[in-house]
């Protein structure tokens, strides 16, 4: 009896270990092609010529949008329309929300197939491209677009494909949603009060003073509980003072000396001036998102510096007579940056290089990036598109025109999170937030940035 029991136990454990083994093996098998590809990435480029498709195939796409968002509604329309022209292709889409990469990571580790993912392009750059597991699209981009009236590459706004290319220049991210950054306000409220969009920093300060002294409206609202919202001020000021790339260059300076440039201190002083003069809404330092932006919607604050997603996000909260207005960040006297230097914040697709439906993905993405389909995106989501020939949503007219006229595009946070996400989170945003909220002085900020930059590079 005792022996029988012992054997029974051993057998049970053996079975469970076999199950565990199967689980591990599955994971390894699922990940194996990626490793093979990393050795020979050239073979995994998206095919230039479309294969003759006839047999049923499925593209598994995980998206950053949530099912109830207008963005997801448009995507479902695209899929429906595509099904009509290519019935043999099934687009198996999962709207998994903003933490899509975390979920994709877990799913693929567990052996689940995910062919295509869309999220912020810089996140794709910091994950799939950095790891060398993305499908290179260059060859496909040089083939005709969906309508066949030009190359697919020429469908995109200049610079948007290259913005998140790999170090060797290869393009894997097909960006479609174009976001920018600037001031957002209620045009009707401004017209009623005779306020005009400023073009220079001095005009901006004068406007804030006018709003503060001549109305019961507070000049600027800010969700100051969110560090990357606060940083919008710093990177915009630095773009205007030093031009695109200066912040990133300071991060990359291993000696930390670049931070001694007086412009970095000046940037913080300009931000603090807004606090000191009482231009930010009272109590904003204690706001938990979205308390700040709701003040813009309610008309208690005159403007907010934010991404161009804000009108779409707030459209259900504003009154019927609210008229959306936007203007770009003003120029600063003595700075090298122009008012036409605009942020380009992209959301795009990337496919995994172990996908078995590469040609189908290319065909589907060509379909999604036709000007007609992108116009639906613009109209229904109030976002801009990275595809040429699409219009600007009326709510974003000011920023949209400035973006299309722009001579120099820069990434959000000057591209720091694209390349050094841990530095961005643990050094730059941390110290900037302390300085922005007045917990440390501009001098202390510069000192901390210098010291921690040196320490960061020593630890690498």
Binding residues for other proteins, per CB under 8 A?
A: 1-2, 5, 8-9, 12-13, 16, 19-20, 28, 31-32, 34-35, 38, 99, 101-102, 105, 108-109, 120, 122-123, 125-128, 130-133, 223, 225-228, 281-283, 285-291, 295, 417, 421-422, 424-426, 429-430, 433-434, 437, 439, 459
Q: How far is CA 317 from the centre of its chain?
A: 24
Q: Are 62 and 103 in contact (CB under 8 A)?
A: yes
Min. distance of Cβ 387 from other proteins in angstroms? Answer: 25
Least distance CB 6 / other proteins (angstroms) = 9
Least distance CB 34 / other proteins (angstroms):
5
Measured from the CB atom, is 148 or 286 closer to other proteins?
A: 286
Task: Enumerate residues 6+ apart whose C-beta is below 8 A from 62.
Answer: 93, 94, 96, 100, 103, 104, 107, 114, 116, 117, 118
Question: In the complex, what is the shortest distance from the CB of residue 306 to other proteins, in angstroms, rounded to a whole number?
Answer: 12
CA distance 391 to 371: 9
Minimum Å gap between C-beta 35 and other proteins is 4
CB of 59 to other proteins, least distance (A): 20
**Sheet order of strands, 57-63 included:** 89-95, 57-63, 116-120, 345-351, 174-179, 384-385
Q: How far is the CB of 200 from other proteins (least distance, A)?
A: 31
Cross-strand bridge partners of residue 93: 61
- Select 100 or 141, whichever has its Cβ closest to other proteins: 100
What's the burial of 94, exposed, middle or buried (CB within 10 Å: 0-12/13-18/19+)? middle
Question: Could you tell me the two tokens for 382?
Answer: 């109030």
The nearest distance, CB 352 to other proteins, in angstroms, is: 9
Closest to other proteins by CB, 122 vs 190, is: 122
Q: Residue 38 or 154: which CB sits closer to other proteins?
A: 38
Give the integer Cα–Cα distance in Å for 153 and 141: 5
Nearer to other proteins, 133 or 303 (CB): 133
Q: How far is CA 320 from CA 188, 189, 292, 323, 431, in A?
A: 11, 12, 20, 8, 40
Measured from the CB atom, the residue of 119 and 385 that comes closer to other proteins is 119
Nearer to other proteins, 119 or 383 (CB): 119
Q: Which two tokens stand for residue 80?
A: 């429906």
**Closer residue to other proteins (CB): 69 or 203:** 69
- 134 token code pair: 């993305």
Q: Which is nearer to other proteins, 259 or 309 (CB)?
A: 309
Strand residue runs (E) in 113-173: 116-120
Q: Which residue number, 132 or 243, has a Cβ lying nearer to other proteins?
A: 132
Report CA-CA distances (Å) from 133 to 109, 297, 418: 14, 43, 17
By C-beta, is 164 or 366 nearer to other proteins?
A: 164
Please state the closest distance from residue 3 (CB atom) to other proteins, in A. Answer: 11
Quote the CA–CA distance of 434 and 441 in Å, as a whole number. Answer: 9
Which residues 6+ apart lie within 8 Å of 74 measured at CB? 376, 377, 380, 381
335 CB neighbour count, 10 Å cutoff? 19
H helix intervals, 215-290: 227-242, 246-252, 262-276
Smallest separation, CB 361 to other proteins (Å): 18
Between CA 7 and CA 357 the distance in angstroms is: 48
Q: How far apart are the first and last CA of the chain?
A: 61
Q: Give the shortest CB-15-to-other proteins separation in angstroms.
A: 9
**Per the structure block, which two tokens stand in for 9?**
């136990």
């Amino acid at each position: 009896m005792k022996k029988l029991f012992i054997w029974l136990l051993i057998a049970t454990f053996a079975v469970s270990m076999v199950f565990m083994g199967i689980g591990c093996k599955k994971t390894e098998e699922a990940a194996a092609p990626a490793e093979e590809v990393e050795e020979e990435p050239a073979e995994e480029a998206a095919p230039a010529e479309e294969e003759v498709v006839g047999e049923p195939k499925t593209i598994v796409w995980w998206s950053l949008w949530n099912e109830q968002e207008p963005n997801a509604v448009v995507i479902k329309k695209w899929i429906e329309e595509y099904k009509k022209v290519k019935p043999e292709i099934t687009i198996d889409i999962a709207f998994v929300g903003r933490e899509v990469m975390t979920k994709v990571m877990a799913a693929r580790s567990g052996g689940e197939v995910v062919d295509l993912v869309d999220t912020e392009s810089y996140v794709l750059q910091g994950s799939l491209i950095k790891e060398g597991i993305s499908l290179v699209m260059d060859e496909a981009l040089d083939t005709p677009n969906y309508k066949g009236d030009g190359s697919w590459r020429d469908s995109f706004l200049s610079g948007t494909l290259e913005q998140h290319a790999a170090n060797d220049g290869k393009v894997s991210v097909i960006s479609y949603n174009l976001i920018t950054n600037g001031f957002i306000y209620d045009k009707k409220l401004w017209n009623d009060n005779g306020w005009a969009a400023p073009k220079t920093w001095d005009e901006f300060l004068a406007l804030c003073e006018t709003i503060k002294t001549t109305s019961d409206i507070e000049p600027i609202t800010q969700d100051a509980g969110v560090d990357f919202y606060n940083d919008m001020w710093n990177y915009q000021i630095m773009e205007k003072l030093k031009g695109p790339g200066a912040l990133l260059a300071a991060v990359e300076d291993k000696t930390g000396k670049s931070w001694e440039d007086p412009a970095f201190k000046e940037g913080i002083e300009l931000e603090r001036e807004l606090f000191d003069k009482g231009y930010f809404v009272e109590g904003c330092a204690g706001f938990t998102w979205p308390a700040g932006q709701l003040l813009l919607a309610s008309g208690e604050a005159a403007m907010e510096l934010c991404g161009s997603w804000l009108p779409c996000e707030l459209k259900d909260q504003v009154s019927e007579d609210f008229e959306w207005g936007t203007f770009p960040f003003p120029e600063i006297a003595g700075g090298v940056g122009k008012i036409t230097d605009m942020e380009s914040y992209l959301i795009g697709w990337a496919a995994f290089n172990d996908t078995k439906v590469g040609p189908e993905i290319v065909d589907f993405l060509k379909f999604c990036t036709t000007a007609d389909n992108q116009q639906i995106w613009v109209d229904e989501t109030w976002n801009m598109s990275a595809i040429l020939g699409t219009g600007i949503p009326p709510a974003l007219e000011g920023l949209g025109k400035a973006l299309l006229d722009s001579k120099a595009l820069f990434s959000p946070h000057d591209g720091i999170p694209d390349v050094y996400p841990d530095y961005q989170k643990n050094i730059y945003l941390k110290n900037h937030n302390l300085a922005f909220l007045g917990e440390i002085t501009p001098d202390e900020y510069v000192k901390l940035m210098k010291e921690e930059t040196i320490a960061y590079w020593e630890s690498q």
